[in-house]
Amino acid sequence: MPVGKPATRREVTVVALAVGGVVVAVALGALVLLAARGGDVEVRLGSDTWEVGRAENMADAIAAGGPLLFQDLSGGDRDIYVSHVGESPDAGWYAFAARATGRDRACSLVWEPAEGMLRDPCGDATFSPEGEGLEQYPVYVADGRVVVDINRTGERGRPGGDGDSPPDSVIESGTPAGR
């Protein structure tokens, strides 16, 4: 039977660290699997709300050119119009889907300034600046900024918000929760 030279202190340290690393990796993997099986884990990335911009500036821009179209830049197809109706920049805000349910992006609504309406280019339908009949998103003004709750939708045909009252996810100070 061959007899080798004894292991050096460095070799023993390297082997001990490697075994310890494997044990830690297995323990972490088991914890992740255990947490995932619990069913109570909710992964949430990003914010529930979208701060669109300063209410006064946006109200002026909408008065001059009609509702503002914001395309979904996250790779999805949830394009949104933001509209303002009335004199006060603190009220009269609406956020709604940029096209009728079931339509693709080629059918995004178009603002018709002469009519004061949004027109579906793929059909005969027209919609008011409040987006009645379209999927609505709650919208409110907090600290002079327009905020849209992009993860909640209102009933079809009803405005998403009047700009006066923030949704339940807003704390008493008027600032969205989690900010």
| Cβ partners under 8 Å of residue 116, min gap 6 | 129
Q: At 148, which helix (H) or strand (E)?
A: strand 145-149
pLDDT tens by residue, 72-90: 877 777 899 999 999 999 9
Strand partners for 170: 176
Q: How do strand 145-149 and strand 126-127 relate by DSSP bridges?
A: unpaired
Would you identify the CATH topology of the domain 49-149? Rieske Iron-sulfur Protein (2.102.10)
More confident residue, 161 or 34: 34
Identify residue 153 by its one-letter amino acid code.
T
Q: What is the largest CA-CA distance in the chain?
A: 99
**Pairwise CA distance, residues 173 & 164, whole Å:** 14
The model's pTM: 0.64
Cα distance between residue 164 and residue 140, in whole Å: 6
Note the pLDDT tens digit of each residue in 125-155. Answer: 999 999 999 999 999 999 999 999 987 776 5
Q: What is the DSSP letter of 84?
A: E
Residue 61: both structure tokens together: 């821009």
- Alpha helices (runs of H) in the chain, residue ranges in sequence order: 9-37, 55-65
Q: How far apart are CA 176 and CA 179, in angstroms?
A: 6
Q: How far is CA 120 from CA 98, 99, 134, in A?
A: 10, 7, 11
Sequence spans of domains, the chain: 7-43, 49-149
